Amino acid sequence: MPAPAFRAVLLDWRGTLVVAPTYRWLVVTALTRLGRRAGDADVERVLVALGGVDSARVDSSQIDANVVEHRAAYAEWFRAAGLDGELAAALYAVESDIFLNAFAQDVEPLLVGLASAGVRVGVVSDIHVDLRPAFAAHQLPDGRSWADLVHTWTLSFELGVAKPDPAIFRAALDGLDMPASDVLMVGDRGGWDGAAVDVGMTTLLLPPLTDPTDERLQRVLDLVLAGGPRAGHGRD
């Protein structure tokens, strides 16, 4: 088998490995958790309220660099929209619950395929909560978990910096102990993940994941394994 084209792969989380959450999903899930009506009109009422006030602070990745600022930004947004405290708390709880974000069904073949080829894996995410438990919850037949296949975690709230700041990508490279030329960054947003090119990393941008059954990650293996057999498949 030819040597892998890259010695390591850095993976974004939301939109790349898990379904990118939408505000509609957030509202539906929060209302349902509260036992409130979550019909189209009920959801639309909340969305209109949220859309009627400034959400620039919430939309900025910079709040992901600080847990306190993240919570404060959302609280300010919900308060400005006139939402009641119970709904505001439920919305934030849903937004912060990593176990509600559905993984793509081809995440495991990707992680196992990379590990089997000796390619290190890192997760780089603008996030205000720890992602490790979500990966650890997925067990492999050999007793390991997905978390055991991740060599380094570069999470904005732990580092104090978020994409597209080059510092977050440099920190990921430090965690891998590799030069940028040996690493592939995989994400779904050009303005954020695409900034990895500024530190010299080749970057693959995939369409944002909207359905767990949408298999896109084989493209990563095809690129990294560079002509070797497809992970989980024999040669034709």
State yes or no: cis peptide before 164, omega within 30 of 0: yes
Tokens coding 106: 């081809």
Q: How many CB atoms are located within 10 Å of the residue 138 CB?
A: 15
Give the single-character DSSP code of 112: H
* CA proximity to 27, closest of 80, 100, 91, 108: 91
pLDDT in tens, the chain (236 residues): 678 999 999 999 999 999 989 999 999 999 999 999 999 999 999 999 999 999 999 999 999 999 999 999 999 999 999 999 999 999 999 999 999 999 999 999 999 999 999 999 999 999 999 999 999 999 999 999 999 999 999 999 999 999 999 999 999 999 999 999 999 999 999 999 999 999 999 999 999 999 999 999 999 999 999 744 444 443 33
| Kind of pairing between the strands at 152-155 and 8-11 | unpaired
**What domains appear along the chain, each with residue ranges and CATH number?**
8-19+101-225 (3.40.50.1000), 23-100 (no CATH)
Give the ranges where 9-165 is alpha helix by DSSP (H). 23-34, 40-51, 56-59, 67-80, 85-96, 107-116, 132-136, 156-159
- What was the pLDDT predicted at 138? 98
- What was the pLDDT predicted at 234? 36
* CA proximity to 155, closest of 26, 19, 14: 14
User: What's the predicted TM-score (pTM) here?
Assistant: 0.93
